[in-house]
Structure 1
Amino acid sequence: MTGKIEARLAELGITLPAAPAPAANYVPFVQSGQQLFVSGQISNSAEGLIKGKLGADMDVEEGALAARFCGLALIAQARAALGDLDRVKRVVKLVGFVNSTAEFIDQPKVVNGCSDLMVEVFGEAGRHARSAVSAASLPLGVAVEIEAIFEIE
């Protein structure tokens, strides 16, 4: 039987990617009590890494799409950790890092790409606290990296 969240993903036409393997000396997620901490997921699509700098060679819409891909990877990591996305009680917090110029001020609009996805998938339980900050550069030159904390059952 398919769970509620898996059914919602299918209804939205969303196929999750495989949970990405860590690129260095860390684990992709850690469960501590009723919280699941998911390591930062970088902007990566089926076509490869989404690289760029907001305010230089990427616009807000491209950045928001990159952030959405980060969100898909976060959900994929949660599924890998929990086995069943229905165990997610709430998206507690997202921390988004946006590779951007010093003049770029729309980091929140970029990270909305991930925030909107969480609400689409988890409904009211997807509403979360959040930080959206600028970074002078990100690993591998990607446009966005986002980490998450989930409350779980």
Structure 2
Amino acid sequence: MSNAIEDRLAELGVTLPDAPAPAANYVPFVKIGDLVHVSGQISQGPDGLITGKLGADLDLAAGAEAAKRCAISLLAQVRAACDGDLSRLVRVVKLTGFVNSTADFTDQPKVINGASDFLVEALGEAGRHARSAVSAAALPLGVAVEIEGIFEVR
């Protein structure tokens, strides 16, 4: 049986990785009723962690790509929470994005747009969500971006 979300991801050239394992004493997601709360996903790609500080080491495009990679990991966690069936995803409810940035960098929303734009491109209207985008003086392992999310599932 075809899964429309996975088909759309394939059209976009995106293959979801296995859901990343937690790096400390917490769980990757918690299901409560029809909501899945996904722990913060750090920016990492096929070649490893995406590190650096916006406003110093990384430009806006690199930051947005790091945020997109976080969104891909979020979807991988949602798929795991749904026992491998991403078709159970109803919508993205809320994202909270943290951007490792200098004190004078003020484009955190544009960085987190990398995740938001990707989710809308991949999921259509179901990808539209409430959101916060904030600066952080540092993030775990020196990553550029960390994003947590809340998702509605069936």
Distance 2:113 2:120 in 1: 10
Structure 2 Cα separation of the partners of residues 151 and 18 of structure 1: 20
Q: Could you report, residue by residue, the CA deviation over 1:23-55 in whole angstroms, capped at 9, with x for unpaired residues?
A: 000000010011000000000011110000000
In structure 1, give the amino acid aligned to 2:102.
Answer: T
Between the aligned partners of 1:23 and 1:43, the Cα distance in structure 2 is 13
Offset, 1:17: 1.4
Q: Which amino acid aligns with 1:4?
A: A
Structure 1 segments, 4+ long, off by >2 Å, are none
* Aligned pairs for 1:1-153 within 5 A: 1-82=1-82, 83-153=84-154
Give the letter for the 2:11 counterpart.
E
CA positional deviation for 1:18 = 1.4
Letter in structure 2 aligned against 1:107: Q
1:13 deviates by 1.5
Task: Give the Cα–Cα distance (whole angstroms) in 1 for the partners of residues 35 and 72 of structure 2.
Answer: 19
% same residue: 70
Gaps of 5+ in 1: none
TM-score, length-normalised on structure 2? 0.97
Q: Which amino acid aligns with 2:14?
A: I
State which drifts further: 141-150 or 83-92.
Answer: 83-92
Structure 2 CA distance, aligned partners of 1:117 and 1:78?
Answer: 15
Secondary structure at 1:150 match in 2: strand
Could you tell me how far 1:2 is from its partner in structure 2? Answer: 2.2
RMSD across aligned positions (CA): 0.7
Separation in structure 1 between the aligned mates of residue 92 and residue 150 of structure 2, nearest angstrom: 6
Q: What is the TM-score of this pair, normalised by structure 1?
A: 0.98
For residue 121 of structure 1, report the CA deviation from its aligned partner. 1.2
